[in-house]
Amino acid sequence: MWWERKRAREREREIMKSFVWLCIFFCWLLNRACQADQHAPLQVDDYAYTIQVDSLFSKPVCTHSTKGLKRESSLEVVHRHGPCTNLPGDAPTVSDVLRRDEARVNWINSKLSINSQPDSANLPAKDGSSVGSGNYIVSVGFGTPAKYLSLIFDTGSDLTWTQCKPCIRSCYNQKDPIFDPSLSSSYSNISCSSDLCSSLASGTGNSPGCSSSTCIYGIQYGDSSFSVGFFGKEKLTLTPRDVFNGFLFGCGQNNQGLFGGSAGLIGLGRDPLSLPSQTAAKYNKIFSYCLPSSSSSTGHLTFGAGSTLSRSLKFTPISTFSRSSFYGLDFTAISVGGQKLSIPTSVFSSGGTIIDSGTVITRLPSTAYAALRNAFRQRMKAYPTAPALSILDTCYDFSGYKTITVPKISFFFSGGVEVEIGSVGILYGSGLSQVCLAFAGNSDDGSVGIFGNVQQQTLEVVYDVGKGRIGFAPGGCS
């Protein structure tokens, strides 16, 4: 009948309408799936970190780690600005840290310059800038009896030095009593005519001087920070079981710069004057460290084969920079949110890459940094942006959030080694309203890349210099 045909047509229209809405729904789901690649780090735990916003900054109380200190030949590492050490002086602002970091990078580039030649040890006596920022401190003993001093350790330097009495020209303010070699029965000066005196040229980048037949060293960092003094031998005590007689070091009589109240510096570079080289008979040029996650926690510096115990260590070869004792790395790729970025490998090989404990912010070739920045911004579109902070140009305002989700970032090195940057190594800021991507780009692809200390935090970093390799493992401090 006609009404039955009418009802049949109405049912067909209802079915068709439901089908259309079903198609629209599935198209919407498909569109969400297509966009998921861009926003995956904000949704997929495997490729993202969920971070408590209040954990982005240091706490007022020190938390001590004991992991590394359970090994023999280990020293506790503390940040020179924070509750884990009581070095004199106010902590620098974030802007100051980044400005001094630029000075550090400029110093590294000058050391790597082909045209760089050793200068006179008679360095200028004027206010200095800094050996770097965010440096890390260990306590070691000098002399007989041993006097313990808080020293910055630095993989980008070779000579170990400390301020010494009588401070003939100038000494800056430090936490510990200034070392007095006249009170030590094991101290002796190096003669100007000694071959050891001549070794200062490669270990400091400056030609040695001479005063009353005593060898004079001079070393300069960053803008104008420097130490000049007598080159001597002394007993070095790392731990009660790790004592070295005749350790070559600088006894500083003219020292200026913002060294954060430390008594001097330990050189962990590759030159024969460095601590790993001078202790090679015992440690086989092996050392490791874990840099703490913040200035309110601690890490460790460990010498010897005990550094290589972690089963999760992955080793990559050390690449050598001409006329330099820096530790080079063969950088090959970067991933963001589990996706490798489209960066030609030639971008990384053009200027090469070093790993440096004294540089704060990792520096990347300009092409590589642009790719990293763009991928990171794409995955962070849900968050309000903030103005740039000095050299950091990708910043966010997290003041309205309790937790945030950021994409994981990994570095890849030769030998197929992937190093996943910890959550503490991705962001850096001055406050909740200005937290930034903790990487910076070089002015071009030809400048040296630098794997900085913010990105190294919480990693176990093992330097097996004898075998020409560097190892990385997660969870090195906890």
The residues annotated as belonging to the active site are 154, 356
DSSP 368-416: HHHHHHHHHHHHTTTS-EE--BTTB--EE--TT-SEEEEE-EEEEETTT
Q: Find, among 231, 325, 263, 232, the residue nearest to 131 by Cα.
A: 263
Q: Please list the helix, strand and coil fractions of the chain in percent, rounded to the nearest 5, in that order.
A: 25, 35, 40
Report the C-alpha gap between 371 and 445 in whole angstroms: 13
Q: Which residues, 6 or more positions from 355, have their beta carbon under 8 angstroms from its beta carbon?
A: 155, 327, 329, 450, 451, 456, 461, 470
Cis omega before residue 272 (within 30°)? no
Report the C-alpha gap between 253 and 164 in whole angstroms: 6
Is residue 475 helix, strand or coil? coil
- Alpha-carbon distance values, 21 to 8, 16, 18, 94 (Å): 20, 9, 5, 54
What is the β-pairing status of strands 74-79 and 409-413?
unpaired
Q: Which residues, 6 or more positions from 191, have their beta carbon under 8 angstroms from its beta carbon?
A: 197, 213, 214, 215
Is residue 452 helix, strand or coil? coil
**Any idea what DSSP says for residue 239?**
E
Question: Which token pair is 38?
Answer: 């861009």
In sign, the C-alpha dihedral spanning 235, 289, 324, 468 is positive
Report the C-alpha gap between 429 and 328 in whole angstroms: 28
